[in-house]
Amino acid sequence: MPASLAAVKRRLESTKNTRQITAAMNMVSTAKLNQIQGHTKTYEVYADRVKSVLISLVKSHNATLKNGVSDDKDHLGTLFTKRPVKKTGILVVTSDRGLVGSYNSNVIKATLDKMKKAGLDKDNTVFLTVGRTGTEFFKKRGMNVVFESTGISDVPTYRETHDIVKNAVQMYADGVYDQLLLSYSHFVNRIVSRDRVELVLPISAESLALQEDTEATKIVGAEYDLEPDLPQLIGKLVPQFAESLVYGAILDAKTSEHASSANAMSAASDNADEIISTLQLQYNRARQAAITTEITEITGGMTAQE
């Protein structure tokens, strides 16, 4: 077999093997996506109910929210209290591995764009990172990473992310930072994801969506007797609501990660199919040329003997 023909054959076999791997990874990512979507829908029911009850309790308590600042700070606690921003915390959610297309780079780019727009730098910003990619990126650039977490499972449970969620909220309460931003990829559908950088703490009127006509206000009203008293209930629900925002974003980001991985592997499989088609054509032509050459040489040899 001529050297050129052997080289094409080796590349063709290698590409076919790669095609099998990417197709298998596409199937795995799709299965993970289906699994986490079912888990996320269940959690959203819980998160919405926590939000609804908190909205109703705050309204029943006649707490006035103006620009995210409560006039009833003793009852609503520090998570509602807006204070001068000397230090900003950013919780960045990325993946532990590659092969997820532009998922990680888009999240990091959105984070850096937000920092530039808000005038944030390594001196007035601290990072909480979920995922090895983001952790390594910000550490290599000398950023202050005060908390990091890797090895999150494909369908993370609240218990698994307990330390992340609790630390993010507790650090704000302890004054490690004066506001907490959450940077992650929001899952829209299997094709589309959108990068978000949102203010999580302090809790604002926007995050609670306190409209007068919301159905949530009808769940718990002032006409009910509550045990323990209303301020204590609010004090318990406020941290729970903040934690639900962080955990919900991690679930959302993981969903987007699996979708990005499935799309990337699907695109890689399609590219491999095109390369295989091209190489197969090259191989057939080279093989035909080699056979023609051999026939010509045999015919020439027979003619010479005559």
pLDDT tens digits, 67-119: 344 444 444 566 777 888 899 999 999 999 888 989 999 999 999 999 999 99
CA dihedral 49, 51, 53, 54 (to 10 degrees): 160
Residue 270 contacts by C-beta under 8 Å, 6 or more apart in sequence? none
Structure confidence at residue 83 (pLDDT): 85
The CA radius of gyration of the chain, in Å to the nearest whole number, is 29
In 3D space, the residue among 279, 297, 296, 293 whose CA is nearest the CA of residue 6 turns out to be 279
CB atoms within 10 A of CB 99: 14
CA distances from 130 to 20, 31, 51, 152, 229 (A): 31, 23, 25, 8, 37
User: Are 191 and 256 spatial neighbours (Cβ–Cβ below 8 Å)?
Assistant: no
DSSP count for the chain of H helices, then E strands: 7, 7
CA distance 100 to 29: 10
Alpha-carbon span 105 to 236, nearest angstrom: 37
Count of beta carbons in the 10 Å neighbourhood of residue 277: 10
Question: Which residues sit opposite 181 in a β-bridge?
Answer: 90, 199
CA distance 210 to 56: 9
Q: What is the pLDDT of residue 53?
A: 75
Which residues lie across from 214 on neighbouring strands?
none
The CATH classification of domain 27-264, taken from the options 3.40.1380.10, 3.90.226.10, 3.40.50.2000, 3.30.1150.10: 3.40.1380.10
* Confidence at residue 62, expressed as pLDDT on a 0 to 100 scale: 47
Distances (CA, A) of 225 to 57, 126, 231, 233: 12, 43, 13, 12
Mean pLDDT of the chain: 81
Residue type, 300: G
**How does DSSP classify residue 216?**
G
- Which residue in this structure is represented by tokens 């002032």? 222
* Cβ-contact 135, 111 below 8 angstroms: no
pLDDT higher than 90, residue 241: no
Predicted confidence band of residue 136 (pLDDT cuts 50, 70, 90):
very high
**Which pTM does this prediction carry?**
0.78
- CB distance 165 to 183 below 8 Å: no
Q: Does domain 3-21+265-298 have CATH number 1.10.287.80?
A: yes
Could you state, in order of their start, the residue ranges of all structural domains in the chain?
Answer: 3-21+265-298, 27-264
Q: Convert the pLDDT of each residue in 245-302 to its tens digit.
A: 888 889 999 999 999 999 999 999 989 999 998 888 888 887 787 777 777 767 766 6
Which residues does 147 contact at the CB level (< 8 Å), separation at least 6?
Answer: 128, 129, 164, 167, 168, 171
* Spacing of C-alpha 77 from chain mean position: 30
Whole-angstrom distance, CA of residue 238 vs CA of residue 244: 10
Distance CA(175)–CA(77), nearest Å, equals: 13
- Nearest to 146, CA basis, from 170, 115, 162, 112: 170
